[in-house]
Amino acid sequence: MLTQRCFRCATAVRHTLVTRGCSTVQGDVRVRFAPSPTGFLHLGGLRTALYNYIFAKKYGGSFVLRLEDTDQSRLVPGAAESIEDMLEWAGVPPDESPRRGGPVGPYLQSQRLELYRQTADQLIESKHAYYCFCSSQRLDLLNKEALRSGQTPRYDNRCRHLRAEQVQEKLDQGAPHVIRFRLEEGVEPFQDLICGRSHHEVAQVEGDPVVMKADGFPTYHLANIVDDHYMRISHVLRGSEWLISTSKHLLMYRALDWQPPTFGHLPLLLNKNGSKLSKRQGDIFLQSFQRDGVLPEALLDITTSCGSGFNTIGVGRRIDELIAEFNPSKITTHSALLDLEKLPEFNRIHLQHHIEDEEQCATLITGLQAQIQQVCGEEMQEEVLQEGYIRRVLLLRKGHISSLKELVGPAYSYLWVRPSVSSQQVAAITAEAQHIAALVLKLIAERGEELTVDRLSKDLKTLVKQTKGTKYGEVMKLLRLALSGLQQGPSVAEMMVCLGPEEISHRFQKLLQFPETN
């Protein structure tokens, strides 16, 4: 393969002119994301979908979801529905899909079998394809022999040399068979939007590929070009692992006398150490991130921040900003290294954006209410589910938390459940707990509902001067214990503002019941 960085996406992509061998695209931009429902959507798939979505929206085009479910033996129950669910959750919904429908459906390959059969028959009739009757045992022997001699396994094209009468005899006998595409030398170079000029003489290194399996289902090589053609796909943006197959696909386009789309092969998304993302990692699936409270905007942000294709690089970008900043000519061939250890920081920034947005904050409140009920159960005070209370907590904690799940963890349990404090804990801090509690109750009564962190911070410093000798640090330790039952956390003033006057009073009334110690 010869790859040269010599071509860049034209500014007006809607009317891009590309040399023959790739495409002449004039008219609407139509891109597609075509995963196989043999598994659930993970970060690598999301990134491919995202670049296609951004490309479509940047140039006023359509984003199509097509599910390539022809490998029936490997289908995972629920995966097809989950893929579309996760795209919608991530904020990159398709314009056309199995669920939404559209003008060029159906969008499940298993429902388009007749179309593939017709195309395969067309290739047979034009002598660009042929029936192959080789058994799986023979193919296994070919592979083993090649490996034994240190060669790359490939089909030896034996059945392309069968005479017409031999083929007909086997068909009449009902012999099991597949259909193979006849590879020819003389592949034209094509211009890839990202990788530049590419050329791969596939016939010199590969055997003729199967395009129609014995079960009547097409292979990827046939199904994807048939669907891209009939779905009027203008640009194919897919992973770089498919670059080597593109010359093969272009031979098939030429055999069918179809105009191919423009191709762009995206660099791989790798772990930060350069290893491949693996489904075995478990935590790279979108459902896992959703379950852990990661915001979709954070996932979109981190998967684009570690790659290329944008005029500027930053943290905290939302989808509208990504579309505005997108520049295909800046996509490089270098693999993108994903550092998931940075995800909490991305999520913290986007969570802050959500809290500051009225509508998105309301959604956060609803979600947090459900989590509080699930985690705290009957122990919680009913008042903590009030929208105003939770909104106050979120506004005070924004910028400090990376996910809502933190707020229902042990460090913030005092917000929802009254802490249990013993007289021994209090006595270990100071002998004048009752006096300090009385001072706090007097302060809260004077301030009423108008509590602010800055004002309370000053008030508490003044309060310390009214004690009989307890130092500032011990007073703060006592107040923190009474409010939260903890030894650390947000500032005491912030805790008080979060809880509100009524709850503060209730918690310090308990201190008045403890006996004074000398």
The two tokens of residue 241 are 């692992």
**Can you name the residues that pair with 276 across neighbouring β-strands?**
270
**Residue 472, CA distances (Å) to 422, 430, 441 in order:** 21, 11, 18
The pair of structure tokens assigned to 380 is 């919680």
What are the respective helix, strand and coil percentages of the chain, to the nearest 5?
50, 10, 35
Shortest CA distance to 97 belongs to which of 32, 153, 176?
Answer: 32
Helix axes 220-230, 113-125, angle to 10 degrees: 100
Q: Minimal CA–CA distance to 105: which of 230, 290, 202?
A: 230
Of these residues, 127, 272, 279, 461, which one is catalytic? Answer: 279
Q: Count Cβ atoms below 10 Å from residue 16 Cβ, excluding itself.
A: 20
Q: Indicate the helix (H) or strand (E) that contains 81.
A: helix 79-90
Residue-wise burial string across 137-149, b where 16 or more C-beta atoms lie within 10 A, e elsewhere? eebeebeeeeeee
Residue with the two structure tokens 């039952």: 485
CA dist 402 and 405 (Å) reads 9
> Angle, to 10 degrees, between the axis of helix 433-447 and the axis of helix 453-464?
140
Q: Are 232 and 261 in contact (CB under 8 A)?
A: no
At residue 251, the 3 state secondary structure works out as helix
Contact partners, residue 242, CB within 8 Å, separation at least 6: 265
Please report, as a single letter, which amino acid is at residue 41: L
Catalytic residue list contains 279: yes
Quick check: helix, strand or coil at residue 478? helix
Q: What string of DSSP letters covers 425-474?
A: HHHTT-S-HHHHHHHHHHHHHHHTT---HHHHHHHHHHHHTTSSS--HHH
Residues assigned a catalytic role: 279
